[in-house]
Every structure is written in structure tokens, then in C-alpha cells.
Amino acid sequence: MNTDSAAVRLRPWPRRSIALIGVVSVVAHFARTAAAQPILVDFELLPGMGNTPGASIPAASRLGDQYLASHGVRFSSGSAFVGVVIHGGGTPSGTRIIGGSTAAGQLTYNQQFPITARFLDATGTEPRIVSTVSVRGDLQAIPGTKTLEAFDLGGAMIGSQTLQDSNTAPLSITTPGIHSVRFYSSSATIGFDDLRFDTPVAPTTCDTIDFNGDTLFPDTQDIADFLTVFAGGTCPTGACGDIDFNNDGLFPDTDDIAALIRVFGGGACL
């Protein structure tokens, strides 16, 4: 690299501007964190059915989109709904928990029909993502495990936690870009309650990974060229994209390097 030209290209980013961008970046980060208040779904909204696996879930106890407009979450299992169940003792909150549904709409706790909670906009058409999710199993300990899994927009698993049923702590996953979670038990006995998550937000859209615009991708040359331009160098092809790869308005920002490498590897934008 020509050192003189690198110095010239670095000039648009004097130390004071980079420091200012750093401050703006930190402020923006804390603004996002402050906005992420925990949301709680306690499943007390609908009338519950009796706790009788195998019974058909009555229409009034079928939970699908009833929390969509208010909380941004849709529930499903083997059918497009889960069952709200009056559980009695050992219920984390109130009197109700949820169980899965078979394809025929029967109540089930079998892991063959895990419960899925998907984050969407109020109309249920646009994806949303969260960065932390927790859910509790019912408090009646039976030998076996309970599992929470998190998935990104592409359906790839990005987090998983399994606890013994006797562990009363919530199952919890914190990682960027959670679009859906599913939960189930190995013993086919656990109902779930108290789903918590931070405010669902619209996913950030990243630029193409063909950073250098030569139509070759995935290609590690794109990463090399990104780092060159990021450092103030010249775009080797003359057709590079901008360095705000994650399009959050912050640059130069090492988050853009991390996002490029993540997306390059098949991961989510954010």
C-alpha cells in the first residue's frame, strides 16, 4: 500500500471526529439498551382448559396471535396455536401455563410438538428480533430436562439451554438476532409460563457481502478489501460499497467488521 495515499485518505477522519463518532456510538448503544425493557407474557389472558393431555384444545383456550398486537409475539406448536391450561399448584404465575398442540389440535407436552414463539410486527407480517428470552417450566419437578432454543431470521439455531426439570431457574438465552424460540421437555410433562423478552425490533439489513462489487462472492477478497477501505485505503476494484455494512448509521465502527464476517459465514446481520 502507498503510505502517502493512505495518509491522504485518512485525513477525512481526524482524531477529533473519530472520538466524536465513538461517543455517539456509545450513546446510541446505551439508548438501545435503555429502550430494551423486559416484556412479560404470563398466559393469564385466555380461559384455560383442564390439564388433560390428549384432549382437544377448546377454541377459547387456543393461543396463537392474541399477544401479537400487544406484545409482538405469535405462538404455535403442532397446530397454529398452543393450549392454555389451568395448572393448579406449581404454577409460576397466576393459574395458567401453556402446553403444545398436536396437528389434530390436542393438548400435548411431548417434545415432538415443541412450543414456538416467533417475534413479529403487530400485523404478523414483518419479522422482528429480540436479544434476550427466558421462559419458566412449571414448578412440579419430574425427572427429565427442559430445553429452550433460539433461532435467527434464517432459522439457524443461535442459542440453546437445557436444565433439569427440578431446577426452578428460568431457561434463558441472551444473544443478538433472536427471531424465534422453541421450548419442550424430555419427560413430556412440563408446561411453560412467564415468557420474557426485550422489545422486538425490526432487523437491521446488511449490505451485500460482495463488498468489492466484482460479482464474486462469497470471496475472502471481499473481507480483505473491506478492511483495506476501512483502514482508509483505496478500493482495489473501484466498485466497493460503503463501510457502514450493517447500515446502522455508525461508521467507522468495528461492529461493521464483525457483521461482515458473521454474514459471510452464513449468520444473521445483527
Catalog residues that contact Ca ion under the rule CB under 5 A. 42-43, 93-94, 96, 193, 210, 212, 214, 216-217, 219, 222, 244, 246, 248, 250-251, 253, 256
Helices 220-230 and 254-264: angle between axes, nearest 10 degrees: 170
CB of 214 to Ca ion, least distance (A): 5
The cell 412467564 sits on which residue? 194
Q: For the chain, how many residues are written?
A: 270
CB of 157 to Ca ion, least distance (A): 26
CB of 195 to Ca ion, least distance (A): 10
Where would I find the beta strands (DSSP E) of the chain? 39-41, 62-63, 73-76, 82-86, 96-101, 107-108, 115-119, 130-137, 145-151, 157-164, 171-178, 180-185, 192-197
Which amino acid makes up residue 67?
Y
Nearer to Ca ion, 66 or 212 (CB): 212
CB of 123 to Ca ion, least distance (A): 26
CB of 125 to Ca ion, least distance (A): 27
Residue 147's nearest CA partner among 132, 130, 165 is 165
Nearer to Ca ion, 101 or 246 (CB): 246
Nearer to Ca ion, 160 or 172 (CB): 172
Nearer to Ca ion, 251 or 264 (CB): 251
CA distance 99 to 44: 13
CB of 180 to Ca ion, least distance (A): 21
Name the residue with the smallest CB distance to Ca ion: 93
Nearer to Ca ion, 111 or 212 (CB): 212
CB of 137 to Ca ion, least distance (A): 12
CB of 223 to Ca ion, least distance (A): 9
CA angle 155, 195, 140 (to 5 degrees): 115
Nearer to Ca ion, 77 or 159 (CB): 77
DSSP alpha helices (H): ranges in 15-67?
15-35
CA distance 60 to 105: 13
Residue 77's nearest CA partner among 44, 106, 102 is 102
Q: How many CB atoms lie within 10 A of CB 54?
A: 8
Nearer to Ca ion, 159 or 170 (CB): 170
Sequence-ordered list of residues with C-beta below 8 angstroms from that of 45, at least 6 positions apart, any chain: 63, 66, 67, 84
> Is 59 strand, coil or helix?
helix
Nearer to Ca ion, 165 or 222 (CB): 222
